[in-house]
Amino acid sequence: MSVLNVAFYGSDELASNIAKKGDSRDVVSYVFKETKDEKVRILSLLRPLKHPVSIRPLLSVLNVSRVGFVEVKQIDASLGEVLVAMKCSEIEVGIAVINPDSGDWVDPDQVRVLFKQAKLNWNILEELPEAHEIREELFSLGQSEDESDELVVPLDQKFNVQGIGVVGIGYVQSGKIKKHDQIEIIPGRRPGVVRSLQVMDDDVNEAGSGDRVGVALRGVDEDDIGKGSMIVLKDSDSLVELSSTISELKEAPFQRRRVAIGDIVHASTNMQFKVGRVIAIQGSAISIEWESPLVVRKDGLGVVILVQLDAVPMRIIGTVTETNSA
């Protein structure tokens, strides 16, 4: 199966017209599944709730998405923050549909200027296409992808199921996870074995990039995993745990606030949302001490977005790259 995860910012009505509504927590999923040319392909729209009150669900969606979709009902600070979040998350391809509520109007030229300022070269549509046209366009945008073979599965939920044991749920960021794999939970490198796998309520023998997977684990206690934990293969060196970092800060579009020594910041990456304190700044280099270890990929994949929750109106400070232990 080929799964395309789409960061969807728009109305429930439009999302439900494109795909079938599914699970709802901080993020609502909408799934469209079809067989074409003897291959199964799946479109998964991930719609964050509670924005702009809470930014974390939006960032979680962007951690696992490859394509973006924005329904423009009005131009405001919330839309600006969403576009900046898309850009900082390297969602370089997407669709924007201008679709104001009845009686309202949005200036298409102003929308184009806003996207240009956010440095997003997306397809901007002034009329709402048919649902099948939207699906085909999204599938076409998600076709090309450079991807690592290293298994990384960030988790966002966990359960203890009677008769089965501990189950972690998350998205396969890269690689493949198979039944009976010997794995480790990071942080902590706690060992375990994959007892069974489920994708969309079906038992499977393996799951690949883009799949939302339930992983039943043997030899792992419930306290060993949580939101932001990651599953890797045994002895994998694809991830590194850092208690303090020094990085290059690339400031976000529209952001005028400057980070200062002593500021409290959060990092969003791989379903983690870590809190830290800025301890040094030298030019574009920023040093941060983390309350608990920040886990990053050695191959540089997986964007790290820096956020200040009290920054108004733009909470996204930018991205950090070339992250090393301080």
Task: Report the SS3 class of residue 133.
Answer: helix
Closest CA to 138 of 58, 44, 22: 44
pLDDT band at 136 (very low <50, low <70, confident <90, very high): very high
pTM greater than 0.95: no
* Confidence at residue 119, expressed as pLDDT on a 0 to 100 scale: 95
pLDDT at 168 over 90: yes
Q: Amino acid identity, residue 127?
A: E
Of the candidates 179, 192, 256, which has an alpha carbon nearest to the alpha carbon of residue 224?
A: 192
CB atoms within 10 A of CB 50: 12
Alpha helices, DSSP H, located in the chain? 12-18, 56-64, 77-88, 108-117, 131-141
On the question of pLDDT at 249 being above 80, the answer is yes
Looking at residue 312, what is its pLDDT? 83
Indicate whether 210 pLDDT > 70.
Answer: yes
2-141 — its CATH code?
Answer: 3.40.50.300
**Topology of domain 153-233, per CATH?**
Elongation Factor Tu (Ef-tu); domain 3 (2.40.30)
- Chain Cα centroid distance, residue 113: 26
Q: What is the mean pLDDT of residues 44-67?
A: 95
In DSSP terms, which residues pair with 199 in a beta bridge? Answer: 202, 213
pLDDT value, residue 33: 94
| pLDDT band of 38, cuts 50, 70, 90 | confident
Asked whether the predicted pLDDT for residue 96 surpasses 90, the reply is yes
Query: What pLDDT score was predicted for residue 161?
Result: 86
Asked if residue 254 lies in contact with residue 84, where contact means CB atoms within 8 angstroms, the answer is yes
- Specify which residues 296 forms β-bridges with: 240
Options 2.40.30.10, 1.10.510.10, 3.90.79.10, 3.40.350.10; which CATH number does 239-325 get? 2.40.30.10
